[in-house]
Chain A
Amino acid sequence: EPEVTQTPSHQVTQMGQEVILRCVPISNHLYFYWYRQILGQKVEFLVSFYNNEISEKSEIFDDQFSVERPDGSNFTLKIRSTKLEDSAMYFCARRVQGVYGYTFGSGTRLTVV
């Protein structure tokens, strides 16, 4: 099964800037997810994505966030105007349809300054 690769591993951005976090590679017939973990806290669900659509999202996933597959392979999370409180580790995860096992990527540590 393909692993989940995330890029970059660490990103520093200024408050108010847009950031795009990437998850590669991607295959069809998989569910994809974004989770975040603020330093020292628990892992929180952001959004699930299947068949090029959002299937579920949390209250954290507000209008500042969006997800897409811009080229049919990468799976991206965009934060339009970053805030200091967006600083966290962001994990991409996937599971195969019919199998309830989740594989997480190694994460992108986002630091907003």
Chain B
Amino acid sequence: AQKVTQAQTEISVVEKEDVTLDCVYETRDTTYYLFWYKQPPSGELVFLIRRNSFDEQNEISGRYSWNFQKSTSSFNFTITASQVVDSAVYFCALKGDFGNEKLTFGTGTRLTIIP
């Protein structure tokens, strides 16, 4: 069975602060894929990143960075110098190996950036 846990339900930070969103996952598959999606107030799901289980290299994209730690089954997401436009609900998701087509989502973290 697959499971994604986002323990932080809501986070509020003042603009320009850094913030880290936690994601812990469970899977029996040796090959799997991890994702982060952003859901702004308008409701759509915006793809941010995909990570393969065999690639533990951390990634940085502008103000966004992701820390994948297989040893702790975590895939955390950090926003540096936060901006008001970062306010959204962020979902971490997991897909198992070939033949397991579904994405399992976490419960999401609502991030509010205070101007």
**Interfacial residues, chain A to chain B (CB-CB below 8 A):** 31, 33, 35, 41-45, 48, 50, 55-56, 58, 89, 91, 93, 100-107, 109
For residue B91, CB closer than 8 A to chain A, the reply is: yes
Asked if residues A43 and B45 are in contact (CB atoms below 8 Å), the reply is yes
> Which residues of chain B come closer than 8 Å to A42, judged between CB atoms?
91, 105-108
Question: How many residue pairs, one in A and one in B, have C-beta atoms under 8 Å apart?
Answer: 52
> Which residues of chain B from 92 to 115 have a CB within 8 Å of any chain A CB?
93, 95, 100-108
Question: Contacts A89-B43, A91-B45, A107-B44: A102 and B105 contacting too (C-beta < 8 A)?
Answer: no
Question: Sorted from nearest, which 10 A-B pairs have the closest CB atoms?
Answer: A45-B102, A48-B101, A104-B45, A43-B105, A42-B107, A106-B44, A100-B33, A42-B105, A56-B101, A101-B50
Question: Contacts A101-B47, A103-B47: A41 and B107 contacting too (C-beta < 8 A)?
Answer: yes
Tell me, in angstroms, the Cα distance from A68 to B33 when the chains sit together.
27
Main secondary structure of the interface of B (DSSP, over half): strand
**Interfacial residues, chain B to chain A (CB-CB below 8 A):** 33, 35, 37, 43-45, 47, 50, 52, 91, 93, 95, 100-108
Tell me, in angstroms, the Cα distance from A90 to B112 when the chains sit together.
24
> Which residues of chain B come closer than 8 Å to A105, judged between CB atoms?
44
Tell me, in angstroms, the Cα distance from A91 to B107 when the chains sit together.
16
Picked from B37, B95, B107, the residue with its CB within 8 Å of the CB of A100 is B95
Asked if residues A100 and B50 are in contact (CB atoms below 8 Å), the reply is yes
Pairs across A and B, CB under 8 Å, 29 listed:
A31-B101, A33-B103, A35-B103, A41-B107, A42-B91, A42-B105, A42-B107, A43-B91, A44-B105, A45-B102, A45-B103, A45-B104, A48-B101, A48-B102, A50-B101, A56-B102, A58-B102, A89-B43, A93-B103, A100-B52, A101-B47, A104-B37, A104-B44, A105-B44, A106-B43, A106-B44, A107-B43, A107-B44, A109-B43
